[in-house]
Amino acid sequence: MKPKELGDHYILSSSPHAHARISVSRIMLDVILALLPTTAMGIWYFGLPAVWTILVCVSTCVVTEALCRLAMKRESSIGDLSAVLTGLLLALNLPAGLPLWMAVVGSVFAIAVAKQVFGGLGMNPFNPALAARAFMLISFTGPMTTWLAPRPNVDAVTCATPLAAVKAGALADVPSTWNLLIGNMPGCIGEVSALALALGAAYLLWRKVITWHIPAAFLATVAVYALVTGRAPAHVEILTGGVMIGAFFMATDYVTSPTTAKGKLIFGAGCGLLCMLIRHFGSYPEGCSFAILIMNAVTPLINRWTQPKPFGGK
């Protein structure tokens, strides 16, 4: 008997049965593209020191990834662009002018320790770039808290960040709202321009790379805390430091954040609350990185608590 055509047969396979035309490398590329506006603003304000920091972090992360995969006798994963994204995110969370050898150390830590030790992409419990930043902040506290003045400021080489002014109770020294929006203030390379970060966030939401749950819960919690405590105006708390880049680009990491909508809301609110508690009562003016890392550790529990019940299940 002549065999039937393939179209006459049912093909059985395990789920998922609906496939989106998207890949890991495409998602990573989307996030990289979304970070280009804030990268450009960081380079505009801090000049060549920012350029060198970005180039060193990205290249070191790529080389470290290649060497780790080679040493582990596993297939190269450079093509998925995750190492490039980790290097870019780390650089954007560092102050311009940081000694480049420190950027190299942090990049090696991000890939070799925070990522590949756990098995590579998809298995790391903590965001690699944030883990490296926390490691560097503890190891190189002085250089990591020394800030270049933005380029238009010709009267100073280094100066205090707005969060340092808030911590000291000197709200009069906080830049105007417009300067906070465009990024004309000292800070990490990629966290200064709220408008550039918002533009990138809008792109990620439009591409459906991220959902609104974590950023909305994060920012709303920061705003409510500011309104309740009166430490500083809500817009100052949101537009300074790492809140914007943390809420949209770091806390939304697929691997280290919850999978359910309810879990994402809990996660975002936890990040916002811990960030503000560290800012308010901690020894550092900023607490965004540590807040997200702490919530990364809680992610498996949040997933367990918020997992929907199967149909008909008790």
Whole-number pLDDT of residue 266? 96
pLDDT band at 21 (very low <50, low <70, confident <90, very high): low
Predicted TM-score (pTM) of the model is: 0.89
Tokens of 76: 């190269």
CB 130 within 8 A of CB 251: no
Separation in Å, CA 114 to CA 16, 78, 86, 131, 133: 30, 16, 11, 7, 11
Map residue 257 onto helix, strand or coil.
coil
pLDDT tens per residue across span 153-165: 645 566 678 888 8
* Residue type present at position 195: L
pLDDT tens per residue across span 217-267: 999 999 999 999 989 899 999 999 899 999 999 999 989 999 999 999 999
pLDDT tens per residue across span 28-45: 999 999 999 999 999 999
pLDDT at residue 204 greater than cutoff 90: yes
pLDDT at residue 16 greater than cutoff 80: no
pLDDT band at 19 (very low <50, low <70, confident <90, very high): low
Pick the CATH number of 25-306 from 1.10.3430, 2.40.50, 3.20.20, 1.10.40: 1.10.3430
pLDDT above 90 covers a percentage of the chain that reads 63
Report which DSSP code applies to 285.
Answer: S
pLDDT at residue 106 greater than cutoff 90: yes
pLDDT at residue 191 greater than cutoff 80: yes
Distance CA 70, CA 62 (A): 12
Distance CA 53, CA 86 (A): 13
Tokens of 61: 């992360």
Report which DSSP code applies to 143.
Answer: H
Tell me the mean pLDDT in the region 146-174. Answer: 76
| DSSP assignment of 170-225 | -GGGSPPHHHHHHT-S-SBTTTS-HHHHHHHHHHHHHTTSS-SHHHHHHHHHHHHH
pLDDT band at 8 (very low <50, low <70, confident <90, very high): low
CB 34 within 8 A of CB 203: yes
pLDDT band at 10 (very low <50, low <70, confident <90, very high): low
Distance CA 62, CA 68 (A): 10
Whole-number pLDDT of residue 45? 93
Tell me the mean pLDDT in the region 107-136. Answer: 92
Tell me the mean pLDDT in the region 129-146. Answer: 93
Residues ≥6 apart with Cβ < 8 Å to 145: 95, 137
The domain segmentation of the chain, as residue ranges, is 25-306
Average pLDDT, the chain: 88
Residues written for the chain: 314
Tell me the mean pLDDT in the region 88-115. Answer: 95
